[in-house]
Structures are given as C-alpha cells and as structure tokens.
C-alpha cells in the first residue's frame, strides 16, 4: 500500500496541503510505494520559519552537547543498519550490499560530525600589538538548507546535516522527490536521538520548493547535490541573494588503463566502477581510456566479465550484481545512448538491453568501443551502466582527453609504473584521483573536491571545508588599559633578567 510522505516542521510530522503529488516507485517491481507532496513557496516558507525559531536556543547549546546527539544517532543507525539498507534498496533499487555500503559511508559522516567541536576552535595571537590580543571564533551561519539527488537517498543528506547541526545551525532538508523515504527515516532517528524540535526539518517538492528556499531571506546557506544544469542554476540564484552556496553537479569520469596494468584486476575495478549502482553514481567510471596495445584484450575481457554479471530486481534478492535504474524514462534515456553510439559510428560491443517482461527498470552492463572525442557518449553524462571505451596511443593523449572534458569529478589510472601514476595525479583535469582505485570517492574526513562543471562554489562538502562552510568567523581585538598605579612585570621572565 502506498502512503503519503509527511513534512517535518518544527518537530511536528504533518501532511502537506499541496494538491499535487509525485509517485515514489520501487524500481525493482515498478510498484508505487508512496506519494510525495509537491510543496509550494508558502509551505516551504513555513518550514524555514520553524527552523529559524529553533536557531537561538540551538546555537546557544554547548558544542559538545550538540555533538552528543551524533553519538546517539550513530548508535541508532548501527542498530538499524540492515533496515536502513533495505529501505534504500526499496526506494532506489541498488543492491543490498551497495545499500549497506551507503549506510556505512553515512555513518562515517556522523562519526566525523561527532568530532566537529575540535574543528570549531578558533585561533589566538596574544600581544599582536602592544597590550592587544587577537582571537577568532567560529559562529553558526543560521538556517542551512540541503537539496539532494536521488542516487544516494541516505548518504548525501548525511553529507550535510550532521556537520551543519553540530556547528550550531538549524537545517531544512529537501530530499529528492524520487527517494524521500530514507530522509524521513533519518528525521525519525534524529528525534529518537534527542535532537530538539525544529533543529532538523523536511520539506518536499521540485523547482517551486527549491526556489522558495533560495529566495527566503532567513536561509543563510545552501548545500546542493544533483545534475550540473540545476547545480549551476541553484548556485547563481543563491549567491545573487547573498547566500553561501556549495553546489556539486554531474560528472563524466575517466578510467585510464596503461599497457602495463594488471588486466584482470583492472577489469574487475572498471566493472565495479561503471556498473555499481547501475552506473548511477557521480563517481562512476564512464569512459575507459585504453592506452596502447591493451585496448583489444581489455575490451574482450571487459565484455566477458560484464556480460557475466547478474542483472535483476534487488529487493528480496541478494544474488544480483546490477539492479534497476530509477525510472522507466531514465532507462529509456540511458538505453537510447546505444542507438546514438551506433548512429555515430561507435561499436556497441556489449548490449545490456533485455528481452524480458521484467517489471523492474532493468538494463544490463553495456560496453561501447571506438568512441571518439566528438561523439555524445564521450561528452555527456549518461548515468547508467554504459561504459564507453576510447583508445589513446600514450598517457599524454589520455591526459588531453581529460582536458577536453567540461566536468572534473573523478579520474583513475591503472598502472604498475610510479612515474605514470605521478604524472596522472599531477596533471589529470579532475579533482579526485584514483591510482589503481576504480571509485576514488573521499571518505568523510576529506573534502569531495569536484572541479570545473562538477562543482560550483568555494568550500566543498565533507571534511574541514564543510565546517568552514557551515560557520562564519568573528575576530576580536582586546586591549585592557593599565591603570596609573599598576607597575606590571611578567613573573615568568623575572628570573631571566636577574
Ligand atoms: P537533479 O539535478 O535532477 O535533482 C537534484 C535535486 O534538485 C532534487 O532534489 C530535485 O528535486 C531538485 N531539482 C530538480 N530539478 C530542479 C530545478 N529545475 N530547479 C530546482 N531544483 C530542481 O539530479 P538527480 O537526477 O536527482 O541526481 C543525479 C545527478 O546528481 C547526476 O548528475 C549526478 O552526477 C549528480 N550527483 C553529483 C554528486 C556530486 O558529488 N558531484 C553526487 C551525487 C549525484
């Protein structure tokens, strides 16, 4: 039975007054499992106002007490790890092991946030001028907003609110309308963890709701993760209204395989990178760049290995390697790239289209060989289980392919040659680099450093940069005047004068 997804406003779960709703699917079965409201500007403003009301008390709560909520949240999440993973699989469609890994990455963000008080400490320099001391302090910025994509229903919200909240801010989450259920579960767990009402709030919707958040005068900071077109629009709209914005966008990630690479290991890493989560990851390998003579054996091994992966519905089924795509229209769009490839003269070496009447939105792994730089497969984010193969005569040509790409999220090299690895690390045009690692996604303690059209803003999500994003500094200069009858001599240095 499908249910209506509630809003969380000032500690109260309530049904939206919006007339319009969007269906939430189980992508493994095609069944509608919930309806999510499409909130307008008024309802969105009301949720922001609730977050603003909770701000004075929460920002005055000692930082260590704020952090303790994260310890309790961590415990609850660990106890309910399996149920959380099942929920992610149910609304997103990724395999259960992939959902468990997502919960784990999210838990790490909670661990990082629990340690944030030591990153909130300021700097001091006593006697910066005669009798004058200087110090900086980190203050919360105010009401923070998170707008998240469908591909990590649990982890991407956890990239944002734990750090924002421990920094003393209150938070409004606008989850993807395709996967709102994990976000709602996180709201319930935060309540159980003892977070005061109004510190964490949830609103649902699409563009009107996002515009309502961006235009609201009480919103101070916006964290966005999603496609490049929307990331850019959100960034531009937010900064023109004086808000801090960090907006992570889409990607086109390259995997460079040098002639000396271990073929077997590389094929497994490439497959995990390109077909994990059915290719719906911003760090998914999208283009394999085969350098020199490794091209032909690589394509053969890749087709054999990828062709053996088990494709199927993921809910109630552990024996699946590649699950469904999020929606039928996305499946159609991704599969359409195979026709585009053939039309542009590339070679569809492995076609994952399925001749079955499966209810789920399934597409098996695909390999497209002989992709050229001007083709759409080389330039556009596909976001599905399609790996394009380009050929390059040497590493310099592989680096040039990277320079021609407008995105800049991740890139990996597979090699046994330390110098080639170093050249790649130094010169590839992307912000996250893997050396013999297929998905170089940083863990919570490091920033998620996308470049170019993969990120708009200054301070990235995760790590110390996120603490800086969610705080503003205050600098204080202090001077106490000596009274006429004070004749002070520093007792520490007294003896050294004698
Ligand atoms: P999306 O851009 O369609 O949606 C992201 C969010 O923006 C959702 O909450 C959605 O409701 C909202 N939105 C959609 N259209 C909007 C509009 N016109 N105006 C205002 N808000 C709008 O992205 P998606 O399809 O949910 O997610 C997949 C994309 O996210 C891919 O491009 C992927 O690469 C990217 N992504 C990037 C990262 C990263 O760290 N760079 C991480 C995960 C996903």
Measure 150 CA to ligand 1 centroid, in angstroms: 7
- Let me know the angle formed at the C-alpha of 212 by 207 and 216, rounded to the nearest 5 degrees: 150
Q: Are 224 and 147 in contact (CB under 8 A)?
A: yes
Give the residue-averaged pLDDT of 418-446. Answer: 98
Q: What is the mean pLDDT of the chain?
A: 96
Cβ–Cβ < 8 Å for 155, 102 = yes
420 alpha carbon, distance to own chain's centre: 29
> What letter would DSSP give residue 119?
G
d(CA 356, CA 331): 14
Percent of all residues in the chain with a pLDDT value above 70, rounded to a whole number: 98
Confidence bin at 498 (pLDDT 50/70/90): low
The most distant pair of C-alpha atoms in the chain lies apart, rounded to whole Å, by 95
Mean pLDDT on 367-381: 97
**Ligand 1 contacts CB of residue 250 (under 6 A):** yes
Q: What is the mean pLDDT of residues 9-20?
A: 97
Check pocket membership of 369 for ligand 1, CB cut-off 6 A: no
Q: Is 180 in the pocket of ligand 1 (CB under 6 A)?
A: no
- 401 sits in which H/E element: helix 395-403
Q: Is the CB of 206 under 6 A from ligand 1?
A: yes
Q: Which residue intervals of 16-62 are DSSP H helices?
A: 41-60
In sequence order, what DSSP letters do the residues of 346-375 get, joined into one string? -EEEE-----S--SS-----EEEES--TTS
* Nearest in space to 290 (alpha carbons), one of 432, 415, 386: 415
Domain map (residue ranges) of the chain: 3-250+450-476, 253-406+410-435
Residue range 321-354, pLDDT digits in tens: 999 999 999 999 999 999 999 999 999 999 999 8
Q: Using 50, 70 and 90 to split pLDDT, how confident is the model at 496?
A: confident
What is the distance in A from the centroid of ligand 1 to the CA of 487?
Answer: 65
Q: Which helix (H) or strand (E) holds 256?
A: strand 253-257
- What value does the mean pLDDT take over residues 220-236? 98
Alpha helices in 245-394 (DSSP H): 263-275, 295-307, 328-343, 376-379
Nearest atom within ligand 1 for CA of residue 230: 2
* Class of residue 353 by CB neighbours under 10 A (exposed 0-12, middle 13-18, buried 19+): middle
pLDDT of residue 3: 84
Confidence of residue 232 (pLDDT cuts 50, 70, 90): very high
Distance CA 84, CA 15 (A): 23
Share of the chain above pLDDT 90, in %: 94
DSSP assignment of 4-27 equals EPPEEETTEEE----S-EEEEEET
- Give me the residue label for tokens 């240095």: 493
Ligand 1 centre distance from Cα of residue 227 (Å):
4
Instruction: Say what the pLDDT of residue 482 is.
Output: 79
| Long-range CB pairs of 206-210, under 8 A, 24+ apart, other chains included | 206/22, 206/38, 206/177, 208/38, 208/39, 208/40, 208/41, 208/44, 209/38, 209/39, 209/40, 209/41, 209/43, 209/44, 209/174, 210/147, 210/174, 210/234
pLDDT tier at 497, thresholds 50, 70, 90: low
Catalytic residue numbers read 282
Which listed CATH number (3.40.605.10, 3.30.420.310, 1.25.40.10, 2.40.50.140) goes with 3-250+450-476?
3.40.605.10
pLDDT at 110 over 80: yes
Contact 447, 460 (CB under 8 A): yes
Cβ-in-10-Å burial (0-12, 13-18, 19+) of 105 comes to middle
Q: What SS3 class is residue 313?
A: coil
User: Among 197, 213, 149, which Cα is nearest to 13's?
Assistant: 197
User: 286 by DSSP, 3-state: which?
Assistant: strand
What's the 124 CA to ligand 1 centre distance in angstroms?
A: 41
CB 352 within 8 A of CB 275: no
Class of domain 253-406+410-435: alpha beta
Q: Do 459 and 246 contact (CB within 8 A), yes or no?
A: yes
Higher pLDDT, 489 or 100: 100
List, for residues 154-194, the tens digit of each pLDDT value: 999 999 999 999 999 999 999 999 999 999 999 999 999 99
In the prediction, which pLDDT does 1 show?
A: 53
Is 70 exceeded by the pLDDT of residue 357? no
Span 116-147, pLDDT tens digits: 999 999 999 999 999 999 999 999 999 999 99
Residue 283 has pLDDT above 70, yes or no: yes
Mutation to probe ligand 1, out of 22, 227, 248 (largest number of atoms < 8 A from CB): 227
């Amino acid at each position: 039975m499908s249910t209506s997804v509630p809003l969380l406003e000032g500690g109260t779960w309530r049904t939206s007054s919006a007339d319009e709703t969007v269906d939430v699917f189980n992508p493994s079965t095609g069944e509608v499992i919930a309806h999510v409201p499409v909130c307008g500007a008024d309802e969105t403003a009301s949720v922001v106002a609730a977050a603003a009301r909770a701000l004075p008390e929460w920002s005055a709560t000692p930082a260590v007490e704020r952090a303790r909520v994260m310890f309790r949240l961590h415990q609850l999440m660990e106890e309910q790890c399996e149920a959380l993973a099942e929920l992610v699989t149910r609304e997103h469609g990724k395999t259960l092991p992939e959902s468990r890994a997502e919960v784990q990455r999210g838990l790490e963000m909670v661990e990082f946030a629990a340690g944030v008080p030591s990153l909130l400490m300021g700097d001091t320099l006593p006697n910066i001028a005669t009798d004058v001391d200087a110090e900086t302090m980190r203050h919360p910025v105010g009401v923070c907003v998170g707008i998240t994509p469908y591909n990590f229903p649990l982890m991407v919200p956890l990239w944002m609110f734990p750090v924002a909240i421990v920094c003393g801010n209150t938070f409004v989450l606008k989850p993807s309308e395709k996967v709102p259920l994990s976000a709602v579960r996180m709201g319930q767990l935060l309540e159980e963890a003892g977070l005061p009402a109004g510190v964490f709030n949830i609103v649902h919707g699409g563009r009107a709701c996002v515009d309502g958040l961006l235009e609201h005068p009480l919103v101070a900071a916006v964290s966005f993760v999603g496609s490049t077109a929307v990331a850019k629009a959100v960034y531009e709209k937010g900064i023109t209204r004086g808000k801090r914005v960090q907006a992570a966008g889409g990607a086109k990630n390259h995997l460079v395989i040098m002639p000396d690479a271990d073929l077997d290991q590389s094929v497994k890493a490439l497959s995990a990178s390109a077909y994990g989560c059915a290719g719906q990851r911003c760090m998914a390998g999208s283009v394999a760049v085969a350098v020199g003579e490794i091209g032909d054996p690589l394509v053969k091994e890749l087709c054999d290995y990828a062709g053996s992966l088990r494709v199927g519905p993921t809910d109630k089924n552990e024996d699946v390697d590649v699950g469904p795509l999020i929606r039928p229209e996305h499946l159609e769009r991704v599969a359409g790239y195979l026709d585009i490839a053939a039309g542009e003269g590339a070679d569809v070496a492995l076609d994952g289209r399925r001749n079955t009447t499966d209810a789920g939105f399934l597409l098996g792994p695909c390999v497209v060989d002989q992709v050229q730089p001007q083709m759409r497969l080389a330039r556009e984010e596909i976001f599905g289980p399609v790996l394009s193969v380009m050929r390059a005569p040497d590493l310099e040509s592989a680096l040039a392919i990277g320079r021609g790409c407008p995105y800049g999220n991740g890139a990996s090299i597979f090699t046994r040659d330390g110098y080639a690895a170093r050249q790649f690390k130094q010169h590839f045009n992307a912000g996250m680099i893997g050396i013999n690692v297929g998905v170089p996604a940083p863990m919570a303690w490091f920033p998620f450093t996308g470049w170019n059209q993969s990120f708009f803003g200054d301070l990235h999500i995760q790590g110390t940069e996120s603490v800086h994003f969610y705080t503003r500094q205050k600098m204080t200069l202090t001077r106490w005047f000596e009274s006429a009858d004070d004749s002070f001599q520093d007792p520490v240095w007294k003896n050294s004068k004698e």
